[in-house]
Amino acid sequence: MTSNEYIIVGRDVGEAKYHLVGDNILPADQNPGGTALDVVFIGKLMGEMSERTGKKRRAKKKEKKLIRLCMRAESIPPGMLSEAQEEAILDHTKIKVMFETREQRKSIDKDKNTRILVVPADGTLKAGLDELQIPVVGKPFEPPLTYPIDKNLMLAWMQDSIVEVVVNVEAPEQMDGLTWHQIRKHFADEIEARLTKIADEDKVGQIAAFHRAVGIYVTNMCR
């Protein structure tokens, strides 16, 4: 890996640099409408590709160009690459799309499957591990390989569980003599302790959690 460490990842929702409008590729900052070239576009394209059969089961040259426009280079730590450097990195990035296969036989235990595990470029995983911060004692650390939108989606999905924790908090003793600030602090402390306890029950260490995330990403395909 180069002295300036970086990773190449998909642009998240709201990070698209270009939009696809008809057959035209236009800068996103012009608000051109159309389809944002980001990870959502890649996911949709993968879904369409997975349905292809025979000679059509391949990625077109134009599709690989669009996939590359959905990517961005991010330095480790962030903010160390100029826009020109990022563009140069992406200009020299080759997109290779490989198709897994499944040959179905008369008996399911005779099926032949091909699974492709992609090993990242040299040093990229090590750089990610080196950047992990030791969590504060008693506090759960931030799950690896996640983005802000993942946090928001998980909070929305877990709202019933969070509400259940909140409504089950016992009232503080002598509540009549407490200020609203003290009552709120009591609830905050109780909820924090309960959620921390739930997180600690899984007993997954920081490094193990990183390796778990890598393993899930590399194997958890739809096929």
In a domain, 164, yes or no: yes
Predicted confidence (pLDDT) at residue 128 exceeds the cutoff of 90: no
Read off the pTM.
0.77
Please list the alpha-helical segments (H only) found in 94-179: 124-130, 148-157, 159-167
As for how many domains the chain has, the answer is 2
In a domain, 118, yes or no: no
Distances (CA, A) of 105 to 100, 113, 221: 16, 11, 22
Element (H, E) at 112: strand 112-114
**pLDDT reported for residue 222:** 60
Helix, strand, coil in percent for the chain, rounding step 5: 45, 10, 40
Q: Tell me how far apart the terminal alpha carbons of the chain are, to the nearest angstrom.
A: 32
Average pLDDT, the chain: 86
Token pair belonging to 162: 């969070």
- Is the domain of 12 the same as that of 86? yes
Q: Which residues of 21-38 are buried (b: 16+ CB within 10 A; e: fewer)?
A: eeeebeebeeebeebbbb
Highest mean pLDDT among 80-84, 120-124, 149-153: 80-84
In a domain, 112, yes or no: no
In a domain, 65, yes or no: yes
Q: Which residues of 118-146 are buried (b: 16+ CB within 10 A; e: fewer)?
A: eeeeeebeebbeeeeeeeeeeebbebbee
Averaged pLDDT for residues 49-73: 95
Averaged pLDDT for residues 97-117: 93
- Is the domain of 173 the same as that of 97? no
- Is the domain of 80 the same as that of 150? no
- Is the domain of 88 the same as that of 174? no
Domain ranges, residue 56: 1-107
- Is the domain of 101 the same as that of 138? no
In this predicted model, which residue has the larger pLDDT, 88 or 161?
Answer: 88
- Is the domain of 91 the same as that of 192? no
- Is the domain of 50 the same as that of 102? yes
Which one of 72, 107, 142 terminates a domain? 107
- Is the domain of 92 the same as that of 6? yes
